Structure 1
Amino acid sequence: MSRPIRALIHADALRHNYGVAKSLAPHSRVFAVVKAQAYGHGLMTAAAAFGAVDGFAILEIEGARSLRAAGYTQPILLLEGAFSLPELRLASELDLWLTVHDEAGLARLEAETLPRPVAVFAKLNSGMNRLGFPAEEVATVVARLRGNANVGEITLMTHFATADEPARGITGQLARFEAAIGSLALPVTVANSAALIAYPEARRDWVRPGIMLYGSSPFAHTPAAELGLQAAMTLQSEIISVQRLQPGDTVGYGASFVAARAMTIGIVACGYADGYPRHAGTGTPVLVDGMRTRLVGRVSMDMLAIELTDVPGVGVGSAVELWGQQLPIDVVAAAAGTIGYELMCAISPRVPVQVV
């Protein structure tokens, strides 16, 4: 019998969340962001759930090739572009769309004769200072792209650093972007999940929802449920042992938790080798048979401990939800000092995945 841990992927929730994203921008086309194996949910699982999505946005050209091989004909945007001339040729052969964000990417396009022209998203740096041409150079970049026989449709793009922070928002970056593009009559994409939800002015020709598609909130203080989103992943396991503690007894590596009273703890088959955060501390919420309790002591490679003292009727074999449809992943992430994105992407290959 295998370990009881498993990750459930809720296809209905994926469909629902895509519908929420689409409803926010009914006049925009939607790139479903499916990088990092669809934020840990499985690339093909997510693609199937999203159905007649307008397009996909992805980082990994291997994933883009898999989508094409599976019969998906929608636009597929490579968010960091092609990294070499062979990748550039492959992108052309597969009819992938390319982000071009620096001189090296432009030079590759100008150095090669491609099997077919590629649609290009020219990324401008409006203030995040990560990727992108200086926004004020947009006219020069567009002129070079327009003069290149390898380039088809051109779209202008930027990415916001603080769309998820209401106190700062997108105003400064959006103003810089708009001032730079001036009267250029080209399609535009600027909205990630946070901007799509919070800023109607960011809902342009294309929008690029990511985290919201998987049922997590992009905002630290707004629960996903308040945004109409549903959790698309549940990580669950079972109690495999029960221990009785006396005052002064300790739990786990480093003896970091010391019992202040007589206690009962349950040992759960889940650890950091499964993707649960090792840095989650005592007090991180966990559900056992639908009742809320807490993590105690350090998370080890294959197990963690939870308090059962005040949770009646549970024991070996009781169901544990580490996060999911009853316990929001954002709540667990906040308690562990991280974000839901990291937890989703960290699920280990050794954890069985079941689509439900």
Structure 2
Amino acid sequence: MGRQTRAYVDLEALRYNFRLAQRHAGEAAAMAVVKADGYGHGLEAVARALDSEATRFAVASLEEAERLRSAGIEQPIVLLQGFHDPDDIRTCVSLALEPVVHSEHQLVAIEQASLGGSLAVWLKINTGMNRLGFPPADADAVIARARLIEGVNLLGLMTHYACADDRDETMTAHQNGLFSALARRYPDLMFSASNSAGHFRESSPRFDWTRPGIMLYGATPMIAESAAELGLRAVMTLEARLTAIRTLQPGDAVGYGSTWRAEQPTPMGIVSIGYGDGYPRHAPTGTPIWIDGVRITTLGRVSMDMLAVNLTAAPHARPGDKVELWGANVPVDEVARHAGTIGYELLTGVTARVPRVYSE
């Protein structure tokens, strides 16, 4: 049977979260963002689960798009970073992919390419994120150039919010103002701005397409609101087994660096998971874990293949018991806060040696 460390993926919870995103999108349509191997949940399984729900998918790379096509996904697939090499343009044509063109060199490559068919593209407009995209002042000229390229079908414009996860900021309103001005000038094009956080900003326009990502997987996109408060359901349950139990005596230390010492007799358990599986090494003593219907906490440093827990609150725990590292009882965002990171990183960081087990 081997080591029973597993990531259980609830596909019905995934679909529930997508439907919630679509409700928040209103009259706009939601394209499912499944990049980074479906945020660590398994690209093909996630896409197939949403195949009857989503009418468009979005990924970060050509390799991810090719995997979706090989898995039988027929919907339009948006390449959020576009293509990285001019030779990839023909692949976009042959697989009916929709690259997002964000830079002058990409536009020139398309102008100089022999397409061999029709290429649908989006243009990225930089309204304040300042990573990728054309300046709003250049939008008219770039749109005109794209429309002159034979074989190119300009679908629409995209932008990306920088601060939508914070309800108290003003950047999102500024970005919406710039993007809305373009939308009024080009009513024949589609517009897309909202990431997951944008779905929960009631005053933000939804335009034509939203792009839910992390919310699909049951983690919060908002700074001060939990996934449960937003109505989201946990999709991944990361589970391992208790492999050993011992009682530490006062003065006994645990793990590398002896960073934690017992001040009184303390029942300690060892759990078969560590940073080699994607559990954060920097999770400190006191990070919550669930076993036998109660919360317990970690002790000392996380090792590559195991971690220690304080079993004082779970006196009936025995080797072989299931341990939830995150899931319905311990939200991944709570673990992330203890570890000084975000739920995105933990979900996408679960390594390949942890089997994904899917259920409906």
Please indicate the TM-score interval, normalised by the length of the shorter structure.
Answer: over 0.9
Give the alignment of 1:1-356 within 5 angstroms.
1-52=1-52, 53-169=54-170, 170-179=172-181, 183-185=185-187, 186-356=189-359
- Once the two structures are overlaid, the 10-residue window that deviates more, 236-245 or 270-279, is 236-245
2:18 aligned counterpart, secondary structure = helix
| Contact 1:139–1:181, Cα closer than 8 Å, also in 2 | no
2:167 aligned counterpart, secondary structure = coil
Report the residue type matching 2:176 in the other structure. L
Report the residue type matching 1:22 in the other structure. Q
**Paired residue total:** 356
| Contact 1:138–1:181, Cα closer than 8 Å, also in 2 | no
Distance 1:122 1:113 in 2: 20
Deviation of 1:200 after TM superposition, in Å, equals: 4.8
TM-score, normalised on structure 1?
A: 0.97
| Contact 1:136–1:180, Cα closer than 8 Å, also in 2 | no
Report the residue type matching 2:358 in the other structure. V
Alignment deviations for residues 289-330 of structure 1 (CA, whole Å, 9 cap, x no partner): 221011110000000001002322112112100001221111
Report the residue type matching 2:47 in the other structure. A
Deviation of 1:30 after TM superposition, in Å, equals: 1.5
1:265 aligned counterpart, secondary structure = strand
| Contact 2:93–2:115, Cα closer than 8 Å, also in 1 | yes
Distance 1:172 1:260 in 2: 54
1:23 aligned counterpart, secondary structure = helix
Deviation of 1:72 after TM superposition, in Å, equals: 1.8
Distance 2:8 2:131 in 1: 34
Report the residue type matching 1:111 in the other structure. Q
> Which consecutive aligned stretches of 4+ in structure 1 deviate over 6 angstroms post-superposition?
none
- Once the two structures are overlaid, the 10-residue window that deviates more, 271-280 or 177-186, is 177-186
- Overall identity of the aligned pairs, in %: 45
- Once the two structures are overlaid, the 10-residue window that deviates more, 163-172 or 100-109, is 163-172
Report the residue type matching 1:9 in the other structure. V
Deviation of 1:176 after TM superposition, in Å, equals: 2.5
TM-score, normalised on structure 2?
A: 0.96
Alignment deviations for residues 97-141 of structure 1 (CA, whole Å, 9 cap, x no partner): 010001011011101021222221110111111011111110010
Report the residue type matching 1:125 in the other structure. N
Deviation of 1:51 after TM superposition, in Å, equals: 2.7
Distance 2:194 2:183 in 1: 16
Distance 1:310 1:230 in 2: 27
Report the residue type matching 1:206 in the other structure. W
Distance 2:124 2:300 in 1: 46
Distance 1:219 1:141, change over 3 A: same
Deviation of 1:354 after TM superposition, in Å, equals: 0.6
1:121 aligned counterpart, secondary structure = strand
Deviation of 1:181 after TM superposition, in Å, equals: 5.5
Report the residue type matching 1:184 in the other structure. Y
Distance 1:352 1:282 in 2: 27
